[in-house]
Structure 1
Amino acid sequence: MPEAMPVVPAPVRIVLLRPRNPENLGAVARAMKNFGLADWAIAELGTHDFATARRVAVHAEDLLDRPRLVRTLDEAVADCAWVVGTSSRRVRGKRRLAPAAVAREALERAPAGRTAIVFGDERSGLTNDEVLRCHDLSSIPTDEAQPSVNLAQAVLLYAYELRRAALEAHARAPTSAPAGATDAELGSLEAALRAALRAGGFLAGPERHAVRDLVAPLRRARLTQREARLWSAALRTLGRGEG
């Protein structure tokens, strides 16, 4: 009997912002291990009670030993090609996807780069600035009578959907694709666009949301690294007024 093909999960990083509850940390680690995830980053860790976390992280204690501890969301997602924030808010220019849709698209985007799924703190979730920072949004379709989901439960649900999508697709032949632009490269493109628009007089006053709206379709286009760098170079040249 031939050996079964291994299930290869999508390259996904779980990002936790300001987690305070050690039980949640342990439960998140266990949920990730349950469904084959190992990459996670924590910004502004709000607890150091790892003894309690380890009691909850049954057979996943190794993940508690190696989260990527960072200071900001920017650091956590700089090398990611797609950043999805978990929020029920609706924001112009950002799609709001169900967890299963995020899982399927993360697999589709896998040849181009890593996906980050971002979870806010237990009390208030993502801030407005953090929601705007993400490329797209996702929410769990809970009942209106009890819309709030525990942090670890939310991570488990997304991890399950990622595993299910991988199981359904693991027999497909891998497709080759050029490397996708990272969040940092798209941020550089946005900065170059802002400078060019100011140099050209388009941004004469407060920026408000003009640059964000102009960059949104470029983010949705899933630019390759080469395309993003070409856009940035062209915009920097325009910003300098060179012919």
Structure 2
Amino acid sequence: MRLPVRLVLLRPRNPENLGAVARAMKNFGADDWAIAELGTHDFAAMRRVAVHAEELLDRPRLVRTLDEAVADCAWVVGTSSRTVKGKRRLPPAEVAREALERAAAGRTAIVFGDERSGLTNDEVHRCHDLSAIPAGEAQPSLNLAQAALVYLYELRKAALAAAAPPSRAAEAGATDAELTAVEDALRAALRGGGFLAGPERHAVRDLTAALRRARLGRREARLWLAALRTLGRGREG
């Protein structure tokens, strides 16, 4: 299952981050990434972290600008907590859902700024929409590799949900009239069995309330009705 996205990393300078991003991509089925202005050449450190994903380190697109990295993408989402008029700010799960919906029209680019300052103002405005991970106020900034992993996880989860076979159509729920018939049959069975020897009070109401909370289907309600009526006929015989 290949994800229809490209991760775009701008000015990354920490080799361990790049190795961890490669590993996360392998974890969740992504294989397309572009790096603009690579700020490190410590490939040994990258490979130590990119466990079982070393081959991804051999094939990122190395470009000079954001424009080059996203030129063939149909939707460009920048990761930034800023609010910009005219741009949506979506949570990662919504980015994942929409990226899959847009897959037929083209690839989605998810853009990450450098580890120190994130995206510049020009880069934020260059993106079509924005996205942010709802982190706590005490530490709202995530490590680059951690942030990439969150988006990759949401993409994988959305892709698996979309590929799952459709669930069986839900059974029609029991009607109020059918539940009332079950209640009447329950009352008769309890009286016939001696449970209701005196005034009814609230026993039947409480027992029926549990059945109503269970949201019985029509087949289930009919089964209850048949069982209770059978019990009643057995005592009469």
Contact 1:10 1:106 (8 Å CA) reproduced: no
The SS at the match of 1:129 is: helix
| Matched ranges for 1:31-50 at <5 A | 31-50=24-43
Percent identity for Structure 1 against Structure 2: 84
Q: Unaligned regions of 5+ residues in structure 1, if any?
A: 1-7, 174-243
Alpha-carbon distance between aligned partners in 1 of 2:10 and 2:76, rounded to the nearest angstrom:
14
Match of 1:125 in 2: 118
Q: Unaligned regions of 5+ residues in structure 2, if any?
A: 167-237
| Matched ranges for 1:71-82 at <5 A | 71-82=64-75
- Using the size of structure 1 for normalisation, the TM-score is 0.67
The SS at the match of 2:114 is: coil
One-letter identity of the residue aligned with 2:153: Y
1:17 maps to which of 10, 21, 28: 10
Alpha-carbon distance between aligned partners in 2 of 1:74 and 1:127, rounded to the nearest angstrom:
14
Match of 1:110 in 2: 103
Alpha-carbon distance between aligned partners in 1 of 2:165 and 2:55, rounded to the nearest angstrom:
31
Alpha-carbon distance between aligned partners in 1 of 2:57 and 2:6, rounded to the nearest angstrom:
15
Alpha-carbon distance between aligned partners in 2 of 1:143 and 1:12, rounded to the nearest angstrom:
27
Alpha-carbon distance between aligned partners in 2 of 1:148 and 1:82, rounded to the nearest angstrom:
24
Match of 1:138 in 2: 131
1:94 maps to which of 87, 101, 106: 87
- Using the size of structure 2 for normalisation, the TM-score is 0.69
Alpha-carbon distance between aligned partners in 1 of 2:28 and 2:116, rounded to the nearest angstrom:
26
Matched, 1:168 2:168: no
CA deviations on 1:179-219 (whole Å, 9 max, x unpaired) are xxxxxxxxxxxxxxxxxxxxxxxxxxxxxxxxxxxxxxxxx
Alpha-carbon distance between aligned partners in 2 of 1:114 and 1:165, rounded to the nearest angstrom:
16
The SS at the match of 1:15 is: strand
Alpha-carbon distance between aligned partners in 1 of 2:72 and 2:58, rounded to the nearest angstrom:
22
RMSD of equivalent CA atoms: 1.1
Regions of 4+ moved over 6 Å: none
The SS at the match of 2:25 is: helix
Deviation at 1:172, TM superposition (A): 6.3
| Matched ranges for 1:209-224 at <5 A | none
